[in-house]
Chain A
Amino acid sequence: SQKIEQNSEALNIQEGKTATLTCNYTNYSPAYLQWYRQDPGRGPVFLLLIRENEKEKRKERLKVTFDTTLKQSLFHITASQPADSATYLCALLSGGSYIPTFGRGTSLIVHP
């Protein structure tokens, strides 16, 4: 069955460092991969989308990579700030589908 894995353990890093979050998947051939941010008590907020034929996407301090051979996406936040502390979710979409499958998310805690 399709499976999306995100590290269930919280990632603790120091302010100013680069945070790297991982999204691995099996039994899936996604055409698109999305990353969302979710704060406690709120709905997820879309951050970035990357297509299967794209290796890397950047937006301000965010960078996403997509390796379809490794079946993995990495999400990087450079120069991290305490305000970046949140849960980050990855979501996969097959080609022609409009219903994403979400991972459970990884909590990021940036310490001042």
Chain B
Amino acid sequence: GAGVSQSPSNKVTEKGKDVELRCDPISGHTALYWYRQSLGQGLEFLIYFQGNSAPDKSGLPSDRFSAERTGGSVSTLTIQRTQQEDSAVYLCASSLVSVSSYNEQFFGPGTRLTVL
């Protein structure tokens, strides 16, 4: 079956521009996560959506970062006025939250963002 997909796979932008990154989770997965991974670094949590609950935005590094999840499915991560330190791979994951498969996350291939 289809896994988590992300687009674009690569994005090169100029400092100060806005970018939008898209994530299509696995159908039926109620939980969706965004992470950031810099070279040699671990996965940095950004934001978590679960069903119709208010998202957990505690990982967003600044107010330039925002995310939406429409209709409980597709999510868009927006970075405004990009800075060079925003360059990283942005990973999306979805999961089916249940007792039997506790939070096993399915990751997309990521979007590599380069800010010049």
Contact = CB atoms under 8 A, between A and B. Distances in A.
Interface of A: 4, 32, 34, 36, 41-46, 49, 89, 91, 93, 98-105
Contacts of B31: 98
B65 interface: no
A99 B107 CA distance: 14
Contacts of B107: 43-45
Interface stretch (B13-21, B39-47, B67-75, B76-84): B39-47
A49 B43 contact: no
**A contact face: mostly helix, strand, loop, or mixed:** strand
Interface residues of B, number: 26
Nearest to B48: A99
Indicate the member of B33, B107, B109 with the most A CB atoms within 10 Å: B107
Contacts of A34: 103-104
Contact of A104 (B41, B106, B110): B41
Contact of A44 (B43, B50, B102): B43
Contact of A42 (B33, B97, B109): B109
A100 B59 CA distance: 12
A36 B4 CA distance: 16
24 contacts: A4-B42, A32-B103, A34-B104, A41-B110, A43-B91, A43-B107, A43-B108, A44-B91, A44-B105, A44-B107, A46-B105, A46-B106, A49-B102, A89-B42, A89-B43, A93-B103, A98-B50, A98-B97, A98-B103, A99-B33, A99-B45, A99-B59, A104-B41, A105-B42
A91 B37 CA distance: 14
Given A98-B103, A102-B42, A43 B33 contact: no
Contact of B4 (A4, A43, A100, A103): A43
A103 B106 CA distance: 17
Given A49-B104, A104-B40, A99 B109 contact: no
Contacts of B102: 32, 49, 93
A43 B43 CA distance: 10
Interface string B80-116: 0000000000010101010000111111111000000
